[in-house]
Amino acid sequence: MRKLSDYITVDKNIQFGKPVFKGTRVPVQSLFWHLEKNITLDGFLEDFPGVKRRQAEAVIEWSAKHFELAEIVLDETIIG
């Protein structure tokens, strides 16, 4: 079984310590930005050819599983 750390990395010297796709400088947040803007996964991968499809799919799968968990408590205040 693969771990999330097989697909992303956090290093204070890369993108100010934000999670990036392993082997790249592409922030994971950029994937979600693309999806929020209705840009397909294929569109994201075209914009960032250094990211492998499996990396992006793994992050999406991990997110879907972890946001199902009952233990997640959402802060009631949303700024944005």
Other Cβ atoms less than 10 A from the Cβ of 4: the count is 16
Pairwise CA distance, residues 15 & 13, whole Å: 7
What is the model's pTM?
0.80
Domain segments of the chain as ranges = 4-66
CATH number of 4-66: 1.10.10.10
pLDDT of res. 66: 73
pLDDT tens figures, 30-66: 999 999 999 999 999 999 999 999 999 999 998 887 7
Alpha helices in the chain (DSSP H): 28-36, 41-47, 53-66
